[in-house]
Amino acid sequence: MTPHKIDLTLAVHNHQPVGNFDFIIEQNYRDSYAPFIQALEKHPRVRVALHYSGYLWDYIKSQHPDFLDRLHKMVERGQIEMLGGAYYEAILTVLPERDAVSQQSLLKKEMEEYSRHPVEGMWLAERIWEPSMPGIIRRGGYGYTFLDESHFHAAGIPSDGVWGIFRTEDRGDTTLIFPIDKALRYAIPFAAPEKTIDTLEKMRNSGRKLVTYGDDGEKFGSWPGTFKWVYQDGWLENFLTKLELNSFINILLPREAAEAHQPRRTVYLPCASYEEMGEWTLPAETQVDLHHLKEVLTCAGFKERVVPYLRGGFWRQFFAKYREAAALYQRSLRVSDKVAALKQKRKVDLEVVKQAEKCLYKGQANDAYWHGVFGGVYLPHLRSAVEKELILAETICGRELRKSDSTDKYNPQAVVWENAELRVQIQPNLGGGISALDIRKAGFNPVDTMARYREPYHTRMMEAAEKGQTANNEHASIHDRLVVKEEGLVQKLAQDAYPRYCFIDRFLKPEFSLDDLQYNRKVEAGDFAGAEYRRENNAENLISLSRKGSIADKPAALKKTFRAEPVKLGLKADYQLTGNLSGLKNYWFAPEFNLNLLAPCADDRFFLINGVKFAGNNLGGRGDRSDVKMFSLVDDWLGIRINLSASLPARWVWHPVETISLSEEGIERVYQGSAILPLFRIADIGKIPVTVELTLEYWKPVV
């Protein structure tokens, strides 16, 4: 009897985030996308399903049309199957269904027009699954998708049962699922080709009929160290040759596999993603405990029987973990409602609707909403890019729709002011700070400063530093590498107990250093920063907030009244401090402004004092001066100037806010913005109220 062959389905997902720098996308194109296709061209028997997210696809169409011509020839000869998905790689489970369906339909239409073939399969962004997905996939026009082995473990299915094709449904809507084999996902391209072929043969001998590989295309050249390994050292050429020459491996495109193989069974999967993502959603302490537990169980011989069923959380928990991600998400929901209302309006220009819709969809791109081994929400240029699109979409809608309410149903505790130029959002529940200051025509929110959170890799970094460990396996998966890109980062670790907004009210001890202030080393004397304020009144251009708290354990009360300045394009805050202030005269009252113009060392972004440049005036610098009448931040590239001033003489201090965060290159400092604080002696403001003002200028409107 002739031994059966094993059918192998290969799927490669290529993606670049909205807002990524063109030079980075180009580098990925040269290191991954182009050489991968060039290698496949020489091996026509190796057949692959390819997914390109819409933002990357648009870039390739614009910059490398010859690549699309070469790819199309491979489609025509039956070597490539094009996959669809959400056009801008949104997490479909958290979108309003109207947007989830439209995003899928857009990419399906694009890929069908390009390939001139029906597009039946889709790539699910980050493989984020919730039980309602079958209906969303069906309404998007697709019949199958790809999920990880860990999804099936979450449903209690052991590894040796996760192969073939599965069927799932939700309220009558069905879809097929190709389970991605974990062993293949980790082996390709990090193990020697011979070992991967041996793994496939063992799978065949165990009775498996169909196995699926699916993962990121950037693994083939763009991940650290992989270009040399995959191309220069010949890994990919060797692997493709072995696939072609092996008689027991039969490579099928997913659409062929779906016809050749009946679903093995119906399965119902809980909320899940790939294994690493589930861990990343957890709080830092829980992640560390989970890793330790897995190590203990593995050493005790339970790696196969127990460890696969230990799982983390699910994707939505990032909105609880990172306040900045939650704010972006709330914004996206609000803007989606406005775009939906615009589409329902009579006598509206369809091109205007398309423009608003496109901005909304780009603003839903997933990368800026979470964090794992890639920078994600910690990367200011990604947050700013999606925020820009959402601001522009809201601005377009605002021109066509009636003025919205001063409340936001997705953030009901916020107080909102808005006009044609600005949208200001105040959070009485979070220190009475300004959480957003949208400069509408510029599509920019300068108050977008990421706070510093504890992360599990901080623990790994400290443990490695104690042991003197620095080296890593150059062929290790990106998930297993630990590279610290700068000495001394352990000493720069800090956590923020409050959000990094503007007009955050701090009280500081009499003596402190800039290091103490920058790294939160016991300088706080009050309990006002980030605390809840009571709203006293709210007029059209005025809101008063108050709080009873303490300074150095002495009772005190602070009242601040915001006044909108529509003519000057800005805000004033009048402060009045009362209470038992005796003994506190040398303490400082320090309203904090956190502002982010994105580039700490660029020549076209800088500080001014009293309208004049000074030594060390780059945004990544810090200082301490008492001759300031006006402190300004200037961005000549965006065409924005932000001016800060006070009614009383003050000592002004400033420093960068930097996270110690992980990206694919390693652990590094990332500039999140600049903290600027005018300092007033309590002895002074206890007698005379103080006014602090923020005004804006801009001269390069986008819309």
126 is catalytic: yes
Residues 88 and 96: their CA atoms lie apart, in Å, by: 15
CA distances from 680 to 14, 644, 685 (A): 53, 15, 7
Residues 208 and 191: their CA atoms lie apart, in Å, by: 21
Per annotation, catalytic residue among 58, 173, 201, 216: 216
Q: Are 451 and 499 in contact (CB under 8 A)?
A: yes
What are the φ and ψ backbone dihedral angles of 178, each rounded to 5 degrees? -90, 115
Tell me the chain's radius of gyration from C-alpha atoms: 28
Other beta carbons within 10 Å of 578 = 13
CA 443 to chain centre: 19
Three-state DSSP state, 605:
strand
Do β-strands 122-123 and 80-85 pair in parallel, antiparallel, or remain unpaired?
parallel
Q: Are 297 and 170 in contact (CB under 8 A)?
A: no
Residues 46 and 146: their CA atoms lie apart, in Å, by: 19
604 is catalytic: no
Do β-strands 173-180 and 166-170 pair in parallel, antiparallel, or remain unpaired?
antiparallel
Residues 57 and 76: their CA atoms lie apart, in Å, by: 19
**β-sheet bridge partners, residue 180:** 148, 212
Token pair in block for residue 83: 């996959």
Per annotation, catalytic residue among 7, 126, 394, 635: 126
**Can you list the alpha helix ranges (DSSP code H) found in 206-349?**
226-227, 235-245, 254-260, 275-280, 284-299, 318-321, 323-344
What are the φ and ψ backbone dihedral angles of 17, each rounded to 5 degrees? -75, 150
Q: Are 359 and 342 in contact (CB under 8 A)?
A: no
Q: Are 597 and 384 in contact (CB under 8 A)?
A: no
Angle at 619 between CA 613 and CA 624, to 5 degrees: 70
CA distances from 438 to 324, 339, 432, 568, 666 (A): 15, 18, 17, 15, 32
Residues 382 and 324: their CA atoms lie apart, in Å, by: 12
Residues 244 and 233: their CA atoms lie apart, in Å, by: 19
Q: Which residues contact 673 (CB under 8 A, 6 or more apart)?
A: 380, 448, 449, 450, 500, 594, 595, 596, 597, 656, 657
Q: What does DSSP assign to residue 618? A: B
Q: Is 173 left (phi over 0), alpha (psi -120 to 50) or beta?
A: beta
Q: Which residue has the tokens 């390739």?
A: 60
DSSP states along 349-381: -HHHHHHHHHHHHHHTBGGGG--SSS-GGG-HH
CA distances from 631 to 234, 506, 624 (A): 56, 19, 12
Q: What does DSSP assign to residue 315? A: G
**β-sheet bridge partners, residue 444:** 439
Q: Are 401 and 338 in contact (CB under 8 A)?
A: yes
- Helices 323-344/380-400 angle, 10° precision: 30
Active-site amino acid positions: 126, 216
